[in-house]
């Protein structure tokens, strides 16, 4: 405890926790997901046992399970069960690459032909997905340009609906697309069949804030909001790959989200679709500049939001805040401790190969690397799949409690690891942890969120709550 003026720690009362100094206060967090800010004086008094046991701070520490003498074992166990729910149920998300573009790299002797997923593969993959023991089933329809594989997309939607009449799962369909190939008829079909949309939008379109893509996106969101269509999901999420050219344009970003009527934007510096034989899909940029841009977008989203009414949201911020405020993860977020890949998410290629994630599929197709390959829809059974040795490796490699830099971090409960990014950055699914750009970016985002939580007024916290609920409704 050389960061605070404490000579002796009262081990009879102080529970197990990690801490970090943020500004003038200390952030404390335990493995149950409880967290608390303390002033330096209160932190020192808590550690040496001189804190007033009748005061408000002591009561907060007791409520947060930071006092070993007052540990609420039932509450702690319940939080751990919710946190590790993914290990007691089957995979929840299944990604279908309906088509792929031709790709060739003579230097690495790689050649992949253009192809679409056959209906037989779609059916076998969905049969496998419906064997999952999770009551929730999320199907992501992706690929090079899934709207241009329309016959396959419609077959997937209709076959999934037919299977679910018997399975009676909580089925969610999401199209991940840049909207190439969209038209009025397809738009109506998507809304009629309850297909949510995650739109991959280029930075040029966002900055320009006009054009066909914006028009189609706005039309989709208008149909979703129309009560006559009885759409169960929310308006579109926007996925935005952020290069340095976009930094400083936070007003255009939030303006585009608001103008299109979308509910959120996902700011990312990693796009698996940009992976090639010699590129890892990550933008080359200054981390500090990105985090400033991220903070500007977050503040603009919160400022534009009316507490309790929702508004523009940044998806990763809402997902982290869901864990911070509610102690459990929202859907669709790829960073978790332990990993999502293989445990909570599986992906299918056009030929029926099964991977731990769609990014793992792309690595296979663009680099000829089978590290994330798990099997084939006609050859691999469900039990063999979910107990696959590769999934065990990914699971062990992503447990942050065992990783240098994470093991004593207050963020390990709220953050997560991506084996794919670790592999691309460092050549192993564990990676170099705190030395990697992706982890430093994640820590920077969590710093950004907790700094705002530390100084937030009740109104500002209500806005954060509203942002979480708009992206991850109960």
| Residue 352 predicted with pLDDT over 80 | yes
Rounded Cα distance between 185 and 414, Å, is 42
> What proportion of the chain, given as a percentage, has pLDDT over 90?
83
- 308, pLDDT greater than 50: no
- The rounded distance, in Å, linking the Cα atoms of 82 and 23 is 31
Residue 134 has pLDDT above 60, yes or no: yes
Assign 306 a pLDDT band (cuts: 50, 70, 90).
Answer: low
pLDDT at 85: 86
- In SS3 terms, the chain reads as CCCCCCCCCCCCCECCCEEEEECCEEEEECCCCCEEEEEHHHHHHHHHCCCCCCCHHHHHHHHCCCEHHHCCHHHHHHHHHHHCHHHCCCCCEEEEECEECCEEEHHHCEEECCEECCHHHHHHHHHHHCCCCCCEEEEEEECCCHHHCHHHHHHHHHHHHHHHHHHCCEEEEEEEECCCCCCHHHHHHHHHCCEEEEEEECHHHHHHCCCHHHHHHHHHHHHHHCHHHCCCCCCCEEEEECCHHHCCCHHHHHHHHHHHCCCEEEEECEEEEEECCCCEEECCCCHHHHHHHHHHHHHHHHHHCECCCECCEEHHHHHHHHHHHHCCCCCCCCCECCCCECCCEEEECCCCEEECCHHHHHHHHHHCCCCCEEEECCCCCHHHHHCCHHHHHHHHHCCHHHCCCCCCCCCCCCCCECHHHHHHHHCCCCCCHHHCHHHHHHHHHHHHHHHHHHHCCHHHHHHHHHHHHHHCCC
Q: What pLDDT sits at residue 110?
A: 80
| Angle, CA 412 vertex, CA 87 and CA 286 arms, to 5° | 120
- Is the pLDDT confidence value at 416 over 90? yes
The answer, yes or no, to whether the previous bond of 338 is cis (omega within 30 of 0) is yes
Please report where in the chains the tokens 């109960």 appear, as a residue. 474
Higher pLDDT, 144 or 304: 144
Query: Average pLDDT, stretch 150-165?
Result: 98
The pLDDT-based confidence of 209 (bands split at 50, 70, 90) is confident
In this model, does residue 210 exceed pLDDT 90? no
Q: Around Cβ 63, how many Cβ atoms within 10 Å?
A: 14
Predicted pLDDT of residue 10: 81
Residue 208 has pLDDT above 90, yes or no: no
Pairing assessment for the beta strands 280-282 and 313-314 based on DSSP bridges:
unpaired
Judged against a pLDDT cut of 90, whether residue 431 lies above it is answered with no
Spell 175-214 as b/e; 16+ CB within 10 A means b: bbbbbeebeeebbeebbeebbbbbbbbebebbeeeeeebb
What's the gap between Cα 300 and its chain centre?
Answer: 21
Is the predicted pLDDT of residue 162 greater than 50, yes or no? yes
Q: How confident is the model at residue 8 (pLDDT cuts 50, 70, 90)?
A: confident
| Residue 3 confidence class, pLDDT cut points 50, 70, 90 | low
89-389 classified as CATH 3.20.20.70: yes
Give the HSE-up count for residue 275: Cα atoms under 13 Å, Cβ half-sphere. Answer: 23
Residue-averaged pLDDT of the chain: 93
Residue pLDDT, tens place only, 251-305: 999 999 999 999 999 999 999 999 998 899 999 889 999 999 999 999 999 988 7
Reported confidence tier of residue 307, pLDDT bands at 50, 70, 90: very low
pLDDT at 211: 86
Residue 317: which of 446, 202, 226 has the closest Cα?
446
pLDDT digits (tens, 9 = 90+) for 55-101: 999 999 999 999 998 999 999 999 999 888 888 889 999 999 999 98
Rounded to an integer, the average pLDDT of 215-237 is: 96
CA distance 466 to 47: 35
For the cut 80, the answer to whether the pLDDT of residue 311 exceeds it is: no
Residue 275 structure tokens: 């992976």
User: How much of the chain, in percent, has pLDDT values that exceed 70?
Assistant: 97
Predicted local distance difference test score (pLDDT) of residue 4: 67
The domain locations on the chain are 18-82, 89-389, 395-456
């Amino acid at each position: 405890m050389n960061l605070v003026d404490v000579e002796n720690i009262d081990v009879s009362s102080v529970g197990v926790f990690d801490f970090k100094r943020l500004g003038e206060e200390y952030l404390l967090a335990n493995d149950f997901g409880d967290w608390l800010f303390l002033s330096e004086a209160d932190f020192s008094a808590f550690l040496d046992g001189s804190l007033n046991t009748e005061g408000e701070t002591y009561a907060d520490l007791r409520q947060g399970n930071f006092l070993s003498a007052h540990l609420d074992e039932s509450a702690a166990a319940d939080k751990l069960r919710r946190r590790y729910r993914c290990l007691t149920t089957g995979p929840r998300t299944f990604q279908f690459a309906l088509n792929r573009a031709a790709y060739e790299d003579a230097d690495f002797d790689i050649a992949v032909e253009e192809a679409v997923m056959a209906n037989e593969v779609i059916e076998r993959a969905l049969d496998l997905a419906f064997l999952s023991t999770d009551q929730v089933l999320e199907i992501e329809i992706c690929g090079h340009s899934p709207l241009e594989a329309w016959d396959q997309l419609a077959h997937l939607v209709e076959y999934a609906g037919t299977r679910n009449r018997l399975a009676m799962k909580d089925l969610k369909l999401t199209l991940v697309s840049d909207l190439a190939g969209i038209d009025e008829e397809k738009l109506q079909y998507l809304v009629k069949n309850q297909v949510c949309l995650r739109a991959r939008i280029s930075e040029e379109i966002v900055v320009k804030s006009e054009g066909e893509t914006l028009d189609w996106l706005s039309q989709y969101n208008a149909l979703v909001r129309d009560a006559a269509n009885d759409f169960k999901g929310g308006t579109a999420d926007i996925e935005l790959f952020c290069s340095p050219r976009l930094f400083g344009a936070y007003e255009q970003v939030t303006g585009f989200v608001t103008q299109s009527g979308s509910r959120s934007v996902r700011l990312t510096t990693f796009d698996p679709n940009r992976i090639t034989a010699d590129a890892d899909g990550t933008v080359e940029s200054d981390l500090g500049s990105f985090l400033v841009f991220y903070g500007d977008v977050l503040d603009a989203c919160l400022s534009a939001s009316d507490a309790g009414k929702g508004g523009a949201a940044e998806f990763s911020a809402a997902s982290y805040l869901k864990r911070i405020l509610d102690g459990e993860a929202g859907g669709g977020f790829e960073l978790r401790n332990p990993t999502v890949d293989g445990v909570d998410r599986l992906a299918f290629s056009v030929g029926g190969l099964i991977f731990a994630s769609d990014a793992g599929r792309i690595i296979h197709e663009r680099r000829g690397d089978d590290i994330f390959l798990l099997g084939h829809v006609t050859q691999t059974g469900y039990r063999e799949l979910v107990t696959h040795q590769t999934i065990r490796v990914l699971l062990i490699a992503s447990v942050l409690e065992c990783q240098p830099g994470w093991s004593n971090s207050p963020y390990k409960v709220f953050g997560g690891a991506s084996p794919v990014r670790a592999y691309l950055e460092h050549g192993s699914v564990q990676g170099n942890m705190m030395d990697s750009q992706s982890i430093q970016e994640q820590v920077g985002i969590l710093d950004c969120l907790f700094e705002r939580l530390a100084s937030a007024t009740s109104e500002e916290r209500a806005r954060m709550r509203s942002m979480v609920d708009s992206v991850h409704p109960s």
